[in-house]
Amino acid sequence: MKNKDLIESFSGIRGIFGQTITPNFAKKYAFVFGNWLANKLGKPAIIIGCDSRPSSEELKKAMIESLVSLGCKIIDVGVAPTPAISFGVREYGCEGGIYITASHNEPEYNGWKFLWRDGALLRPDQIKEVIEAVHKTKTLPGPKVVDKVAPKPKAEIVNRHKDLIQKYVNFVLDLLGKEAVQAIKKTKLKIVVDPNGGAATTVIKQILDGLGIEGVYLNMGLGEFKRKVEPIEESLAYLVDVIKKEKADLAAGWDSDADRCEIVLSEKFLDSYVVSGNYVLALLVDSVLTDLEDARGKIIVTNDATSNIVRRTAKRFGANVKEVEVGEINVVEEMYRLDSPVGGEGSSSGGIFPPQRCRDGMVTLAMILKLIAKQGQSLAEILTGYPKYYAKATKVKCDPEKQVEIRKRLEEHFEKNGFKTQKTGDETGGLKILVTFDSFIFFRASKTEPGIFRIITDSPEKIETERLLKMGRGAFENVKRLI
């Protein structure tokens, strides 16, 4: 039986350090991944980095030990944001990468993501191969064997932390373009930033300095988590008072690996001080498409849990939206297939901007600043001009062994009652109930939190959104009781 506290999926490996996640387990995964890459691409160069959790360095050392035994070239970049390491895969010509993080989970958790040679996460079929190989691998070479064979492969370890940080900062500024950078500098914006001791601390000041932004820097001690790791209203609410006290324009907060960036305002927008990830993505679509000579026919890729506000925003430019299954790599793959200029998931406030192949919380903030400069309005004023969509979400507990059957029964229930349904992915993917053209109920088993099912609703009317959430939860509980 699978350990319910361990997640092994295309989103990565994740669990509680010292229980399901241990240095020995990390060694095994690194060994298998290194072998797998060697079989695919020849002797690999692998970039490895981590977030600032207390256990990350220990796991990194364990993984490097395995990679050394295989004779891999290892580029150690230390603590750095996920998007910086994704960039580094391509910058240093690596065959793959490892990023040690548990993202938005609390500090007692940890895990890792594996990157392909383009800097994106391994595709679902690839990570499946690695996971299956790990479960088939019973033992690894012992210390004496490793000591004996290590000199022969001539493993090489190089440190590129400072070099990567500087190159990534330059990459972010170059992606904006000189004209946009100069326009941002003229705004004289003041921003409160809270990396919460996470990987964003390594780059955010350099980026804001490059944009001429006055920063109010909070929680900049690397590895010092002063609030909950997940950047949500509960953990970021205190920033409202800081914005007012400092007379700042807005605030930004990141998770531990900095692929997400949440934006905080001094006044509520749609009942929240934290701008919904759906609206962050809409702002990014606005920012990117505004700069195109002709955005007509362009396709924005989102997941199927994303609010229709993104579709409405894209439509203003004559662009379309293509929905895929929840999961960063699913969005990335479709973006590159369709030559999409921007994409992302409304559930995660981090856009994807080619040539990047992952969510980028640094570029997300920079692109919003670019839009503010272009429009000559405050962020609150820009948002006020958008159509209103109210999204609600809840989590319900579910036996992981019953998740597939529950999804099937939910589909049958709603179709029987006259609703159209839309599915993405395999039997564990999302199920979307199309209530009207402009509103939906979405169901999906979480692949990052064991035993959790997510229910999301979206509608232009607040009362209707709440009604749909109640309907969705009621249907879920009724179906669960029947299994």
3-state secondary structure of 229: coil
How far apart (Å, rounded) are the C-alpha atoms in residues 118 and 24? 28
Amino acid at 478: N
Query: Which single residue is written with the structure tokens 């229910």?
Result: 455
Amino acid at 27: K
Q: Where does 7-159 sit in CATH, by number?
A: 3.40.120.10
Question: Do 300 and 287 meet the contact criterion of CB atoms below 8 Å apart?
Answer: no
How far apart (Å, rounded) are the C-alpha atoms in residues 247 and 224? 26
Helix (H) or strand (E) holding 453: strand 452-459
Domain locations along the chain: 7-159, 165-384, 390-482
The residue among 381, 393, 372, 374 whose CA lies nearest residue 441 is 393
Question: Do 331 and 344 meet the contact criterion of CB atoms below 8 Å apart?
Answer: yes
Question: Do 309 and 275 meet the contact criterion of CB atoms below 8 Å apart?
Answer: no
Preceding omega of 450 cis (within 30 degrees of 0): no
DSSP, residue by residue, 203-226 = THHHHHHHTT-EEEE-S-STT---
Question: Do 31 and 66 meet the contact criterion of CB atoms below 8 Å apart?
Answer: yes
Predicted confidence at residue 4, as pLDDT, reads 59
Question: Do 298 and 317 meet the contact criterion of CB atoms below 8 Å apart?
Answer: yes
Burial of 9 (0-12, 13-18, 19+ CB in 10 A): middle
Predicted confidence at residue 400, as pLDDT, reads 87
Predicted confidence at residue 151, as pLDDT, reads 42
Burial of 397 (0-12, 13-18, 19+ CB in 10 A): exposed
Please identify which of the residues 52, 55, 103, 307 carries the catalytic annotation: 103
Question: Distance of CA 345 to CAs 6, 75, 297, 300, 410, Å?
Answer: 24, 30, 20, 11, 23
Predicted confidence at residue 9, as pLDDT, reads 86
Predicted confidence at residue 229, as pLDDT, reads 94
How far apart (Å, rounded) are the C-alpha atoms in residues 78 and 157? 12
Predicted confidence at residue 152, as pLDDT, reads 46
Q: Per residue of the chain (483 residues), what is the pLDDT tens digit?
A: 356 578 898 889 999 999 999 999 999 999 999 999 999 999 899 999 999 999 999 999 999 999 999 999 999 999 999 999 999 999 999 999 999 999 989 999 999 999 999 999 999 999 999 999 999 988 776 543 334 334 445 679 999 999 999 999 999 999 999 999 999 999 999 999 999 999 999 999 999 999 999 999 999 999 999 999 999 999 999 999 999 999 999 999 999 999 999 999 999 999 999 999 999 999 999 999 999 999 999 999 999 999 999 999 999 999 999 999 999 999 999 999 999 999 999 988 899 999 999 999 999 999 999 999 999 999 999 999 999 999 999 999 989 889 999 999 999 999 999 999 999 988 889 999 999 999 999 999 987 677 899 999 999 999 999 999 999 999 999 999 988
Please confirm, yes or no, whether 103 is among the known catalytic residues. yes
The residue among 343, 382, 349 whose CA lies nearest residue 276 is 349
Sign of CA dihedral 231, 113, 64, 137: positive
Predicted confidence at residue 144, as pLDDT, reads 39
Predicted confidence at residue 146, as pLDDT, reads 38
DSSP, residue by residue, 380-438 = HHHHHTSPP-EEEEEEEE--GGGHHHHHHHHHHHHHHTT-EEEE-SSTTS-EEEEEETT
| List of residues 6+ apart from 412 with CB closer than 8 A | none
Question: Do 201 and 222 meet the contact criterion of CB atoms below 8 Å apart?
Answer: yes
Task: Give me the CATH topology for the region 390-482.
Answer: TATA-Binding Protein (3.30.310)
Q: Same CATH topology for 165-384 and 390-482?
A: no
The residue among 241, 303, 292, 261 whose CA lies nearest residue 456 is 303
User: pLDDT per residue over 70-122, tens digit each?
Assistant: 999 999 999 999 999 999 999 999 999 999 999 989 999 999 999 999 999 99
Q: How many CA atoms within 13 Å lie on the side-chain side of 251? A: 33
User: pLDDT per residue over 12-25, tens digit each?
Assistant: 999 999 999 999 99
Q: Which class would CATH give 165-384?
A: alpha beta
3-state secondary structure of 325: coil
